[in-house]
Amino acid sequence: MIPNTKRFVIAGVFVAGAFGLASCADVLYPPVKWESKALPEAQGKVEIKDGKPQHVRYKEGPFSGVRPDFSQFRTQAYDDHRPEPAIRKVAMPKDLKGNAAEGRKIYMNRGLGPCTGCHLIRGDDVWPAGNIGPDHQKLGDAGYSDDELYQMIYDIRAVYPESIMPPWGSAGILTPQQIVHVVEFLKTQKGDLPPEKDPQRDPNTRAKPVGFGDPLDPTNNPALLAAESAEKDWARKGPKGKACADCHQGGVEKAMKGVATRYPRYVGEYRRIMAMEDFLQSHSPATTGIDMPSQSDINLNMSMLVKLQSNGMPLNLDLTSLESRAALKRGEATFNKRSGQRNHACADCHLEEPGKGGNKFLGGRLLATLESGMMNHFPLWRTNFTKVWDPRKRFQWCMTPLGMNYLAADSVEYAELEFYLSSFGQGKPLTAPGIRH
């Protein structure tokens, strides 16, 4: 009798012959179900509070002010197979009257969008505007009818199926009355433009950020001090009577040199892709007895301490094994999966191609591009929050304003998404911890 595992491999080889090795990889190595060990607020669970479901999030800014439950919208979870919201063709209600002043308020409302995150309109008070979408300063001259403008705001996919603009009406973000007000406002954006007083107001002429200085200067990057604080945990014996230093001899500088260049990687013991933070979370309690849950200070600091020993060395990921190729395919699928109330995908903001947001401004933020090797600097110091963030908290924050419940920080989905993004940094030097706004 052939063991089940061998049967599976033989079946996979047959499939490979028929459909190619990538398909084989999909069949052989599906992601395993993972029980989160992250901090409670990092697990993305939903709890009932005051009789209402709420998404449990970090208490710190910028998460603390956003707690509604978005369970009705699909997430990036592998077992969430719900389709994109259906495209809706509509006509503008004839019994609703628009008011341009109200429409401008809605257009500028940060709680509803704002539309200025992607578009520029007239007015010295418009800051910060983005340029992901078309410039609206002369939209009123384009000759669109009220019905056409209403449809494009309500659900633009009925007109431009590939547009990345949210279906504001279909998703229930804007009411029909609010959309009618915005239609009336957009019609006022016409005629000659007044002279521009500030080139920084216009995202098309705004200077791009130049960075925050040397990230490896401890007087400039507070994350370096946090990383160095992990040296005591490196030498500390845990409940099992061992310390990291007992097994990784020669000091952290020698023992960990070059190790971080191979992460994220497939770890056979856990049958999944793991970033450094994932591995520490499982490896530390198993060997020393010291807990290092994902998103805890001890986990982040130890991760940075290990990565420091590989700074300047090129990323050297395994991108060729069967497990890696399967994970890359799944990570790419997650990157392109539209989710949440706004029906956005990572690709909408981080691809530099026509109609996408990469290397453009989302409000005042310049969006990184997939090709830039955007993972080589994590974890990093966030100047606006004065905190160290790893890639997972960055993913979770991206999901929050898009109207989506985020996944657990140590989920397989995020690990494979990080692996896919990291693959574009292959061969580029590590510089961690970085600094970003």
**Cβ within 8 Å of residue 277, ≥6 positions away:** 294, 299, 300, 303, 379, 390, 392, 410
Q: What does the pLDDT read at residue 386?
A: 92
Q: What does the pLDDT read at residue 66?
A: 62
Q: What does the pLDDT read at residue 278?
A: 98
Q: What is the 3-state secondary structure (H, E, C) of 284-331?
A: HHHHCCCCCCCCCHHHHHHHHHHHHCCCCCEECCCCCCHHHHHHHHHH
Q: What does the pLDDT read at residue 261?
A: 98
Per residue of the chain (437 residues), give pLDDT as tens.
333 333 333 333 333 333 344 444 444 556 778 999 999 999 999 999 889 999 999 988 888 766 789 999 999 999 999 999 999 999 999 999 999 999 999 999 988 889 999 999 999 999 899 999 999 999 999 999 999 999 999 999 999 999 999 999 999 999 999 999 999 999 999 999 999 999 999 999 999 988 888 999 888 999 999 999 999 999 999 999 999 999 999 999 999 999 999 999 999 999 999 999 999 999 999 999 999 999 999 999 999 999 999 999 999 999 999 999 999 999 999 999 999 999 999 999 999 999 999 999 999 999 999 988 889 999 999 998 999 999 999 999 999 888 999 999 999 999 999 999 999 999 999 999 999 88
**Spatial CA neighbour of 263 closest among 396, 109, 422, 156:** 422
Q: What does the pLDDT read at residue 30?
A: 61
Both tokens of residue 386? 């004065």
Q: What is the DSSP letter of 406?
A: P
Q: Parallel, antiparallel, or unpaired for β 272-274 and 265-267? A: antiparallel
The residue count for the chain = 437
Q: What does the pLDDT read at residue 103?
A: 98
pTM: 0.91
Instruction: Compute the distance between CA of residue 240 and CA of residue 342 in angstroms, rounded to an integer.
Output: 48
Which bin fits 295, alpha (ψ -120 to 50), beta or left (φ > 0)?
A: left
Q: What does the pLDDT read at residue 29?
A: 58
Measure the CA dihedral 37/330/402/166, to 10°: -170
Instruction: Compute the distance between CA of residue 269 and CA of residue 263 in angstroms, rounded to an integer.
Output: 15
Q: What does the pLDDT read at residue 186?
A: 98
Strand, coil or helix: 259: helix
Count Cβ atoms within 10 A of the Cβ of residue 202 and give its class: 0-12 exposed, 13-18 middle, 19 or more buried.
middle
Q: What does the pLDDT read at residue 21?
A: 42
C-beta separation of 361 from 203 below 8 A? yes
